[in-house]
Amino acid sequence: MAVDKLDDEDYPAWTMGQAADALDVQPAFLRSLDAAEVVQAHRSSGGHRRYSRRQLRLAARVRELFDDGMTLAAAERIVRLEDELAASRAENADLRRRLGEQTESTETERED
C-alpha cells in the first residue's frame, strides 16, 4: 500500500472487524449504519465492507449520539447539520480571507 493512501482520509483501509474493534462496537452496529445509509461502507472486490478514517469518525460521532439517547434518525440529522455547519464556516472563512485580500489590493492601488 502506498504511503499516500495511508494519508488519504477517504481510503477504505479498515475492515469491518478492525473498524468495530477501533470503535468498540459490534459489527452489527456498522452494518445497521450501512443499511440506514448513514455510513455507507466501501466494498472490496470480494464484497467485504471497508471503512475509511473519515467514515470511522462519522460512525464514532453517531455512537456518541446513541449513547446520549438519540435515535438513529436524530443522530443522522445532527451529524448532517454539523457537517453543513462546518462547511459553511469554512466557506465563510475563505470568503473573509478573499475579501481581505481584495481590500488590501484596492488600498494598494489607491496609494499608487
* CATH numbers and ranges of domains, the chain: 11-111 (1.10.1660.10)
Determine how many CB atoms are found less than 10 A away from the CB of residue 33: 23
* Grid cell in block for residue 50: 471497508
pTM for this one? 0.75
76: nearest Cα among 11, 18, 22, 84 = 84
How far apart CA 25 and CA 14 sit, in angstroms, is 14
**Mean predicted confidence (pLDDT) in 69-81:** 93
Give the per-residue pLDDT at 105.
Answer: 76
**Mean predicted confidence (pLDDT) in 12-30:** 95
* Residue the block writes with cell 489607491: 110
Residue 6's contacts (CB-CB under 8 Å, 6 or more residues apart) are 13
What is the Cα 31 distance to its own chain's centre? 18
